[in-house]
Amino acid sequence: VVSNATLQRFYQEVRHQTLRLTENLSVEDMVVQSMPEASPAKWHLAHTTWFFEEFILRERDKNYPRFDERYRYLFNSYYEAAGDRYPRPDRGLLTRPDLSTVLRYRAYVDSCMEVLIAAGMHDDISQEHEFFRDIIVTGLHHEMQHQELLLTDILHLLSFNPLFPSLYRAETPASPRAGALTMQTCGGGLVPVGAREEGFSYDCEKPCHSVFLQAYRLARRAVTNGEWLEFIDDGGYRNPLLWLADGWETCQRNNWQTPLYWRQVDGQWHQFGLDGLQALNFAAPVCHISYYEADAYARWAGKRLPTEQEWEHALANAPVEGNFLEFPYWRPQACTTDTAENGIAQAYGDVWEWTRSPYTAYPGFKPERGPLQEYNGKFMANQFVLKGGSCVTPKRQMRATYRNFFFPHQRWQFSGLRLAEDA
């Protein structure tokens, strides 16, 4: 059980971290919405605050005075049980409340929350107490998810700007093409998958259950930009036999020819990122690709994508280390481990890795009780699982059992791939 002091520090760190991410953003950057699936940074600031107001402060005390009654409607994301919502595709039209008001909203809720957490220290360890403490922890993990989304959405927005804005200056080390890709053999059998009860995890990671795996091999590092270029040069984006039917249709309709943020300047490949337009790093993992592209690449390479169970089983005991949000680069970096050797490198951080597993319920899955029943379960159709986190994922959020999920056509996430094959 987490102590109140620990919870207080956790709360402060996460809330502070969110604000820190917006340091180099202009007021204008923070209000605009670049597509229906993305949200303005200002909205992320407000919605994560709304979570605490709606699910903690208000639930615990019906007399709690909201900062503004109308925010209940404005900043609900998708919780049907929490009432009507302002339409998602129009979030970018909300020029009011302005940024400074939203910052005051955060401060107001923070002070209420800190009083609440502090007061909790003297409480009995009642069941209700535990219930709210759990939701606070969930709210902080929820906010960490939005930290990643905030940066991901800002990158998408800035990518439309012909001025190629950059949020920070990076001294990226030049890297040669990566060394040869080798495969690590993993044994199969009846293995446990999913989160045990200790520690934080989402409902969709549970229960821990047995699955039967056949022996398999997993690539020791992610696929690189250099390798992706070979796929392009070999006509990968023009050969329908490499693609899923839905993928080929999507590829044609959108005229995909490269990953999302690649640009050719004077005949040289570049990649737009949060540090602006940079020469393509051939040794870094390919990023901002859809599931369809990942799947086509794997077929072209004579391999396949791993299942989420294979990924999780192989990494079950590995330390969670990698290039995360806290590190200086918000751009995937070349793998520095010698991957000719044993072991699996680069599993955490850098890029989310598409698995071939549709996002579905584990056997015995029970949705969270109470207000968070809609958090995961209702998205269990048409999406695929990604594992391992990216260079804009908070490290604290990551674990082997974590299941991220996106639609197979989506490319604005920091998504890449790792190859697998039958043993």
Q: Which residues bind a copy of itself (CB under 8 A)?
A: 26-29, 31-32, 34, 42, 70, 73-74, 78, 80-81, 86, 90, 92-99, 157-158, 160-163, 165, 190, 209-214, 240-241, 243-248, 291-292, 295, 304, 356-358, 360-361, 363-364, 373-374, 378-382, 408, 422
Cα-based angle 109, 327, 197 (whole degrees, multiple of 5): 60
Contacts of 261 (CB under 8 A, 6+ apart): 155, 159, 271, 272, 273, 287, 288
The angle that helices 99-120 and 4-21 make with each other, rounded to 10 degrees, is 170
Report in angstroms how near the CB of residue 96 gets to a copy of itself at its nearest: 5
Report in angstroms how near the CB of residue 290 gets to a copy of itself at its nearest: 11
Nearest residue (CB) to a copy of itself, 116 versus 294: 294
Distance (Å, whole) CA 372 – CA 318: 30
Q: Output b/e per residue, 316-346; b: 16+ Cβ within 10 A.
A: eeeebebbbbeeebbbbbbbeeebeeeebbb
Nearest residue (CB) to a copy of itself, 91 versus 146: 91
Report in angstroms how near the CB of residue 211 gets to a copy of itself at its nearest: 6
Nearest residue (CB) to a copy of itself, 42 versus 206: 42
The two tokens of residue 109 are 């809720």
Nearest residue (CB) to a copy of itself, 78 versus 327: 78
Report in angstroms how near the CB of residue 54 gets to a copy of itself at its nearest: 16
Q: What is the DSSP string of 351-369?
A: SEEEEEEE--PPTT----S
Nearest residue (CB) to a copy of itself, 281 versus 357: 357
Contacts of 317 (CB under 8 A, 6+ apart): none
Report in angstroms how near the CB of residue 33 gets to a copy of itself at its nearest: 9
Residue with tokens 């001294």: 171
Nearest residue (CB) to a copy of itself, 159 versus 201: 159
Q: Name the phi and psi angles at 182, rounded to 5.
A: -120, 160
Distance (Å, whole) CA 352 – CA 410: 13
Nearest residue (CB) to a copy of itself, 221 versus 356: 356
Residue with tokens 């850098």: 350
Report in angstroms how near the CB of residue 404 gets to a copy of itself at its nearest: 16
Nearest residue (CB) to a copy of itself, 295 versus 353: 295
Query: In which element (H, E) is residue 132 found?
Result: helix 127-158
Nearest residue (CB) to a copy of itself, 111 versus 214: 214
**Which alpha helices (H) appear in 199-325, and where do they start and end?**
225-233, 245-254, 291-300, 308-315
Distance linking the first and last C-alpha atoms of the chain: 42
Report in angstroms how near the CB of residue 326 gets to a copy of itself at its nearest: 26
Nearest residue (CB) to a copy of itself, 213 versus 232: 213
- Give the gyration radius of the chain's Cα atoms: 22
Report in angstroms how near the CB of residue 209 gets to a copy of itself at its nearest: 7
Report in angstroms how near the CB of residue 243 gets to a copy of itself at its nearest: 7
Query: What's the gap between Cα 122 and its chain centre?
Result: 36
Report in angstroms how near the CB of residue 241 gets to a copy of itself at its nearest: 6
Distance (Å, whole) CA 99 – CA 32: 12
Nearest residue (CB) to a copy of itself, 3 versus 252: 252
- DSSP β-bridge partners for residue 415: 352
Q: Say how many residues make up the chain.
A: 423
Contacts of 89 (CB under 8 A, 6+ apart): 33, 36
Report in angstroms how near the CB of residue 210 gets to a copy of itself at its nearest: 5
